[in-house]
Structures are given as C-alpha cells and as structure tokens.
Amino acid sequence: MNMNLLETPIEYLKGVGPQRGELLRKELNIHKYGDLINLYPNRYIDRTKYYKINQLVDSSSEVQIVGKIIHIKTVEFGKGKQRLTATFIDDTGEMELVWFQGIKWIRESIKVNVPYVVFGKTTSFSGQFNMAHPEMELLQEHKASLRSAMQPVYPSTEKLTNKGISNKVINKIMQQLFVETQALFTETLPTYLIQELQLIPKNAALFNIHFPKSQELLSKAQFRLKFEELFFIQLQLITKNLIRKHKIKGHPFEKVGEYFTQFYNHHLPFDLTNAQKKVLKEIRNDLGSPAQMNRLLQGDVGSGKTIVALMCMLLAIDNGFQACLMAPTEILATQHFNGITELAQALNLNIKLLTGSTKVADRRIIHEELENGSLHIIIGTHALLEDKVQFKNLGLAIIDEQHRFGVEQRSKLWRKASPNPSIGGETERVLRKYQTARPSTYNLLKEFKHQNKKNCTQAETILWECLRNKNLEFKFRRQHIIDMFIADFICIEKKLIIEVDGGYHTTIEQKEVDELRTQILNELGYKVIRFTNEEVLGNIDAVLRKISATLRSLPSGEVGGAIIPPHVLVMTATPIPRTLAMSLYGDLDISVIDELPPGRKPIQTVHRYDSNRLKVWQFIREEIEKGRQIYIVYPLIQESETLDYKDLMDGYESISRDFQLPKYSVSIVHGKMKPDEKESEMRRFSEGKTNIMVATTVIEVGVNVPNASVMIIESAERFGLSQLHQLRGRVGRGAEQSYCILMTGHKLSNESKTRLETMCKTNDGFEIAEVDLKLRGPGDIMGTQQSGVLNLRIADLVKDRDILQLARYHAVKLLKDDASMLKPEHQKLREVFIELGKKKNIWNYIS
C-alpha cells in the first residue's frame, strides 16, 4: 500500500470532516490516517449473543436485543427538565429505552415499527427493564456492516462523548479507514523473522486488533503488534549503544598502576563481594578500550557502590587523568566526600568538595588546582557544571542518582574534558606547501569553490536525502567549508569527505584540481571518496554500502581540537526492575551489585499501628540505653487541613516532651532549613551528640551514621515502596542489629497493605522494585521526566516482559549481523526505523 495514504489528514476520511477532525486531534492526538490505525481498542465486547426481553435479569450487564420501537414520548421531570422514552418490544415482551441528552436529534432520527438492534446496560425498575442511552442500529445495517464476534471499545474522553463522537462513531470511521485503505498495510518486519516467530502478517494483525474474527486471532494480533512495538524501541536503544561504542572515542586506561594496586592490596577496609569484583571487571574492560564507557551501576542501599566508584577513579589517576563525582544534593555530595576521603587517606591524593556552600577563597584554589592538574578527584553538586570549573584532563565522570539531572546538565560534563591538540597551524603549512609547488592548479581551486556551490546535481540531492536522514547513523554536513574548499558532504566525526563528480569534472585541468584537493585533504587528515553522478543515480544502495563500510573502517574524533569525552559511570541506589532497565537504559551497559558486604545483619522490619505507640516508645528508650541512635521520619513539614497525617513540627514537639533534656537530646532536619543549619544538625547527630533525629525525607539519601539502629517511619502508608526502601537503608550500616518500624493508622487501602507487607517480607531492593512496578506502573515509577518512553500504544512493560526480552534478543541478533540494516531483506525495516527516528518525542528520552 502507498505509505503516503497513511499521511492523509484525518478530516479527509469519510465520516470525519473538519469539526470532528479537530476534536480527534485535540483529544486523542489523531492527526492523520496512520494515527487512527494505531488507536488500539482498550477492550472488546461479545456481540455474538442476542437476548430476548423475557431472558433479562437484573445484573446491570451489557446486552444486545433485536426488536422494534412502537411508541415514543417526551416526559417532563424536575424543573424544566425532559427525558425521551420509547417502548421497545420483541416477541417475548416489552421494555423502555431512555434518553436524557440529545433528545431533539434522537426523536427525529428514530424510525417506528422498523427492526433495530439495541445494545446497552439494562436496569430493572418496578418490575420493568429499561436501557439508558442505548447504542442503536437498524437490523439491516447491522447485518451488512463490517463487524466481528468481539466489538472493540476504543479510548475516549468526556468531551468526545458529549460532542457525539461515541464508541460507535469511532468504530464506524475505523471501518471506513479499512475500506479506503483496502486493509493493505506495508509489512514492517523481515520475512525470516515473521517465519521464525510464527507472527501473523501486518495486514492480518491490524485487521484483527480492530475487528477480531476470533479470540485466537485477537491474541495473535496482540502478540504481533506488541512484539513489533518493543522490537523497534530495542533496535533504537541498541543502535544508540553501538553507535556510541563505534564512533565516540574514549581515553583507554591501559595501566593498572600504583594507586589502584596499593589500595587493593593494603587499604581495602573489607574483602570485596563477588558482585563487586564482577562489576569492577566489567568496568575495567570498558575503561581499557578506546571507546567511551557509558555504564549504569545499580546497587542496593549499602551494597558498596562508593568503594567501586573510588577504585574506578584510581584507575583514571593511574593513567594520568582526573576524576569527578557529581551528586544531586549537598548532603549526598558531602557524604561521598567524607567516605572517599576516609577510604583514600593513606594514598596521599588531592580530593576536594565543591558545592553551592563552598567559600569563594576555597573555590579559587579548587579552580586553579583543577586546571593545573594537581587536583586528582573533585566531588560536588551542580556546582561542578559552572563555566568557571575547567579540568586539565578529565578522564572519568561519575554521576550519582542520575535521574535527578537533566540531559543538558549531564552533557556539560562532556565539554569539560580535554581537547585533542589543535591542527590549525598544520592546515596553513600544508596549504603553503601546495601553493608554492603547483601555483596555477592551486589558483583554480578558488574558482572551483564557487562552481561547486552553484552546480548542484540531481545525484547530490538524492545522496543528501539519505545522508541527512542519518541513514548511516552518523551526522553529515552539506557544502561544508574547509579553509578554501567546499566539501560536497562531510562527516566531521570520522573526517570523511564524500564528493560527487558532476558533468563539469571532465577537462584535464579540472581533473588535476580534483586530484590536488584530494591530496591536500588527505594530508590534513581527511579521507576522501568520490562517486560519479551515474553511480549515485544508478545504484544508491551500493553507494551507501560503500560509505557505510568506509565509516566503519575509520577511527572517530572530530577534526581540529574536538573533545574526547570522559568515561561515564552512572550510579543509582534505586533498584530498577529488569524490564524497565531494558527499556529506559537499553542504550547503556548495565552492571548490578546484587549482594551486601559480609557482616551486615538484615534489617528487621515491622508494621505497628498508632495504638501501639507506647510500646514503640519503650523500645526506643531501650535502644538508646544500649547507646544506639534513632531516626523518626514524617511525610509533611506543616500540618495539612486535608490530609490526616502526623506532621513534622507536631511530632517534634511531642517527641521532645516524651524524650526530655538532659537525659535525651533531639535534632530536627527538613527541607526548609538553611544549608548551614541542616549541616549543623546532621553533624550533631553523626557525632552522637543527639539521640533522635526527627526529619522529613531529606535524609532519604546521603546520611551515613553506623550507630543509628532504628528507623521509624510515621504515616508509612503515605510513602511509595522505593522511598520506604531508601529510608530503611539509612540504618543497618553498622555491625549491630537494626530495625525499621512502619507506623500507620488502622484505615489502610489494599495497595497500602501490599506495600507494607512487601517491606516486612523482604530487604531485596530488586524484589521491592518489581512489586512497585506492578502497583504503580512504569510511568509513575520514572516520574514525568522519563514517562514519555512508556506511552506505549499496545505493549505493557509489566505484563509483556517475556515479549520485551524476546524483542531485545532478536534486535541484538539482527544488529550484530547487519548494524546499518543495509541488507536487502532489511530495507523495509530500515525505512520504518528511520521514519520513527524522526519522531524525537518517541526516541530522545535517554541521556
């Protein structure tokens, strides 16, 4: 089928028109035929069964009846209100049809004593059944229409329903779309993949998703379309990863030097777990290669990510580079600084902290030491991204809790890396050499520069369409000026120039000029390949294959002082379910630390109601007697009139009354305090000067007090699972037994009960993340920033994880075999892939 037909604006479809078209655009984001075909039903109604009126029972279920209207009347009720009622009969009895809206139009359109099929929910009143706002169709039309055993129910909005665009209307225009397109849709997957997975064809899948002929065909259609959706997402993510590895150079850390070996052999505070060793091996392999590392390190709370991060930094320092660690909050940055400084104290390294609170005098020293290279490791917040912060040679950037930083912020770290030596002076030397050696031919170059710009051929236009659509994965520029040359097409990253020889490349002089251009450009470090007009017009696929092969053979790195980015290690203590990680971070390599250091006792978690508070308070006193410290966390800072939850200030006052000075001392920390006040209270608690820390979730990350053994979470039903798990991770950092007490009222929703039961049952962050994914869905888990990727049309990351894994397996297999999708059997796939890639709102959701 002609793909252009699917680009037709929706208002041109028979039965839509300008007004309905505008509504469909605004309410369902349907702009053209192709958007409508991808509006998949939410559910299906069985329309194979017809009931008789005497078979009806009072169950409020949807039924379908064949009969006639014999009488219509308008009934006044209430103040100025009307309803329309109709007596509907079949050969077994009668019932009433009722309408409260659109009365005038309905009365005019209803035909009396003509067979109808009515469909809707029935209710019984005083022994008589009635049906409000039924779907109605003349029996004759009902028999003739394109329908299936199961009727689709489409997504809709209140506005569409109020404006008369009911499910029946959408159903009708969907039928019209299949009539106009003749249900001939272009196949998007390779034949061998369809055969191997026994997928039904695209035509059959689209027809049976809208008008399923049977439950079996509906299941096959759903599987096919879910697979395809997830397959293209995985193709995009894996391609991104391959491109990054293929074209983005990194500094190879070839040496495992003195800092790393000294620390590993003499200063490790405890033996590394097998998981830490495995992750370190994966990272070392990445760092040793000439490609830039881009790895996600997942590790549960307390799994020992910081020590892995430090050892990666030591590798960078051993290879003559600097390292930085960026954290989202001052508290977390300070904790990293304290932890890393303590671990590395015997190594005589220069490590500094840079946050918004760093004094001006200290900043000057930090800026100076970063630029002269004497500062080995800098740890900080967003302050690291300031323009004044410049490195001498940044080799490794570690970003903690990266989902809290925007893409723009993260990319700023790239630009702080050290550039390649500039070749500006080299250009002048080469040009001078040729100017003196071949003056007459050299002068013709300037003239040809202008001719080049004017003489654009059809072949160049065709080739440019392919190159600018990034068919070959790399960015090309057209008519790019290099000193006195205009290159037809150039890929700066690969230093590749493509020339198309037009009809004016014929005389001896012109051929000499072409030869001279190529010589000069080669000497400047460029690779030049030439094609004739005939080659491009005759076989564009062969031309693209040759360009692709050349690109693959060339090293990456921009000409003239381009930046070689630092290796990037992204860390998160928020366990991400495997299905989400495959979808959201599919373009990153993923490492997981899935075991805790030895000697850590599992935290005991219990759920207690407010009525048990006295016993809980007694337990706190006993723990303080043993020399332990306590966290008490509240969800709110100030009292809310609408939410019946303990608030922080009220809690602080009552705790201060129950745990009075001089025997007990209580700290308070919340987000509205000034940084130095917060820092002071934190310090008092970490130094053991206060027994109890009353706080909001500001302590969710970044507080490390090994002596704190009890975490009490007030109104625990107010928190999400991942938040509860993060908060629990603030205790259990010492050798003593630790506890987490979840306090709630007696009124709990089923979901809250599930969350609390999960917390009491397991300490495994990944298991908790899976439950969280089932409860909340992927969009909520990732928050608004990341939810765009998860607006899937038909697939569901929770229910369809097996299909996702299958899609990823086949995407990896295909790209290993044909990374540029240039084989003839992948031609259609490649076209769809490129088309999807243009829709930036779908794909550009990852760093």
pLDDT given for residue 451 in this prediction? 56
pLDDT above 50 (res 787): no
Tens of pLDDT, residues 253-264: 988 999 999 999
The answer to whether residues 748 and 717 touch, using CB atoms and an 8 Å cutoff, is yes
**Comparing 85 with 835, which gets the higher pLDDT?**
85
Higher pLDDT, 645 or 11: 11
pLDDT classification of 313: cutoffs 50, 70, 90:
very high
pLDDT of residue 357: 87
Q: How confident is the model at residue 840 (pLDDT cuts 50, 70, 90)?
A: very low
Six token digits for residue 9: 């604006």
| DSSP summary character for residue 419 | B
* Better-predicted residue by pLDDT, 204 or 126: 204
Report the pLDDT value the prediction gives residue 847, as an integer from 0 to 100: 31
Domains and CATH numbers, the chain: 48-146 (2.40.50.140), 258-288+303-418+564-572 (3.40.50.300), 424-553 (3.40.960.10), 604-762 (3.40.50.300)
pLDDT digit string, tens, across residues 216-247: 999 999 999 999 999 998 888 888 777 766 66
Surface-to-core class of residue 327, CB atoms within 10 Å of its CB (0-12 exposed, 13-18 middle, 19+ buried): buried
Query: To the nearest whole number, what is the mean pLDDT of the chain?
Result: 82
> What percent of the chain is predicted at pLDDT more than 70?
83
Per-residue pLDDT at 168: 84
pLDDT score, position 147 = 59
- Burial class of residue 841 in the structure, from the number of CB atoms within 10 Å of its CB (0-12 exposed, 13-18 middle, 19+ buried): exposed
Give the whole-angstrom CA distance, residue 185 versus residue 201: 9
Whether 789 shows a pLDDT value over 80: the answer reads no
Given a cut of 50, whether residue 7 has pLDDT beyond it is yes
pLDDT (0 to 100) of residue 785: 38
Q: Is the dihedral of CA 589, 595, 598, 604 positive or negative?
A: positive
Contact between residue 476 and residue 489 where contact means Cβ atoms under 8 Å apart? yes
- How much is the pLDDT for 410? 58
- Cβ 395 vs Cβ 251: under 8 Å: yes
Confidence of residue 530 (pLDDT cuts 50, 70, 90): confident
Q: Phi first, then psi: what are they for 669, rounded to 5°?
A: -140, 130
**Residues near 17 by beta carbon (within 8 Å), at least 6 away in sequence:** 11
For residue 665, name the pLDDT band (cuts at 50, 70, 90).
very high
Element at 153 (helix H, strand E)? strand 150-153
Give 472 or 41, the one with higher predicted confidence.
41
Contact predicate 72/112, CB 8 Å: yes
> How large is the average pLDDT for residues 161-183?
87
DSSP state of 595: S
Cβ(226)–Cβ(795) below 8 Å? yes
Tell me what pLDDT residue 788 has: 41
Q: What is the predicted pLDDT for the residue at 316?
A: 95
The angle at the Cα of 181, spanning 178 to 182, to the nearest 5 degrees, equals 75
What's phi and psi for 515, nearest 5 deg?
-65, -40
For the cut 70, the answer to whether the pLDDT of residue 786 exceeds it is: no
pLDDT at 425 over 80: no
At residue 453, does pLDDT exceed 80? Answer: no
